[in-house]
Amino acid sequence: MFGIPGQSISMFRKDVEEALSYNPSHISLYGLEIHEKTPFGQNERIIKWESEHQELFEEMYLWA
């Protein structure tokens, strides 16, 4: 999963590279979606982080 608050691009890359080191036959990567009626969606700090880090989310998506 990527786009988690506090996650950096280097952390994300490290996690993906570690997963790939196990030679899986398949790997799926999902971006965190924050929905309004969830605890994350009602957390002001999380909402602010998400809006401020949209470019990071996009960078992770494109790197994957």
Q: How confident is the model at residue 25 (pLDDT cuts 50, 70, 90)?
A: very high
Query: Per the confidence metrics, is the pTM higher than 0.75?
Result: yes
SS3 content of the chain, % helix, strand, coil (to 5): 55, 5, 45
Domain count for the chain, please give it: 1
Model confidence at 17: pLDDT above 90:
yes
Model confidence at 15: pLDDT above 90:
yes
In a domain, 3, yes or no: no
pLDDT tens per residue across span 34-56: 999 999 899 999 989 888 999 99
Q: Burial of 40 by CB count in 10 Å (0-12 exposed, 13-18 middle, 19+ buried)?
A: middle
In a domain, 1, yes or no: no
Within 2-53, residue ranges assigned H as helices are 9-20, 44-52
pLDDT for 64: 84
Question: 42 lies in which domain range?
Answer: 9-63
Model confidence at 22: pLDDT above 90:
yes
